[in-house]
Amino acid sequence: MLLDELYAKEVVCPICSNKFKTSKVRRSKMRIEKRDSDLLAYYKGENPIKYSVFVCPECGYAAMENIFNKIKEKDKNIIREKVSSKWNKRELPLKRSIDDAIEYYKLALYCGQLIDLKRVQLGNICLRISWLYRIKGDDEEERFLNYSLSMFEEGYYNERFSKEGFDEITLGYLIGELYRRIGEIDKAISWFGTVVSNPLVKQKPRIEKLAREQWYVAKEQKRAGA
């Protein structure tokens, strides 16, 4: 039985054409309680980030919802060869635990690496895995935060910004904030400075405010000798 806050969405797998149901959190039931400075949002009930990866129970293909169907023909064959051939069909729970969600994101990360997704998209998957570990209170958070940071930075310099990823301002802010979180304060300060001096920042007032706040926090940390 689904809880009131979840509903089942029917999805057709682009790899094996299997039809399956995946849960989503009803928008009307979402109540944000607080947000961390790296944009992780906490909710009163189910956290929708647990449901952003779709997994086909039949063939094992997993991807973030926004790109699940955008897979190229040649990449479908890669998934069939490397994932589906080894996948044990199984029923997947409609209500996901944190551990279920971590497992599905890792599967999406694996599929994404096989088909060579953009660095920024892979970094986003890693950031979400890091968030799930944070919610769980698990030290693995830091390892995935580091992966995320290096992929974001590589993507920032080498990839075109697209609607499947982050815009330049949000990505620059996240890189600064992730540097601050791993204790590289000078790099954090430099990234926040880059973000607030970018003319595009005016289009993102919420991020601009955050960047100025965290820039100040980082400078205070430096002054305190952190």
Q: By rule CB under 5 A, what count of residues binds Zn ion? A: 8
Q: What is the DSSP letter of 15?
A: T
CB atoms < 10 A from the CB of 70, how many?
Answer: 10
* H or E stretch covering 35: strand 32-35
Using CB under 5 A as the binding rule, whether residue 56 contacts Zn ion is answered as yes
Q: What's the 3-state SS for 90-103?
A: CCCCCCCCHHHHHH
Stretch that binds Zn ion, among 52-60, 96-104, 109-117, 138-146 (CB under 5 A): 52-60
Least distance between Zn ion and beta carbon 12 (Å): 9
Nearest to Zn ion of 16, 217 (CB atom): 16
Nearest to Zn ion of 71, 210 (CB atom): 71
Helix (H, G, I), strand (E, B) or coil at 69: coil
The answer to whether 175 and 192 have CB atoms below 8 angstroms apart is no
Using CB under 5 A as the binding rule, whether residue 58 contacts Zn ion is answered as yes
**Which residues have a Cβ under 8 Å from the Cβ of 152 and sit 6 or more positions away?**
119, 120, 123, 127, 171, 174, 175, 178
Using CB under 5 A as the binding rule, whether residue 55 contacts Zn ion is answered as no
Least distance between Zn ion and beta carbon 20 (Å): 8
Nearest to Zn ion of 18, 190 (CB atom): 18
Least distance between Zn ion and beta carbon 63 (Å): 11
Residues from 4 through 43 that contact Zn ion (CB under 5 A): 13, 15-16, 18
Least distance between Zn ion and beta carbon 126 (Å): 24
* β-pair partners for 218: none
Applying CB under 5 A, which residues contact Zn ion?
13, 15-16, 18, 56, 58-59, 61
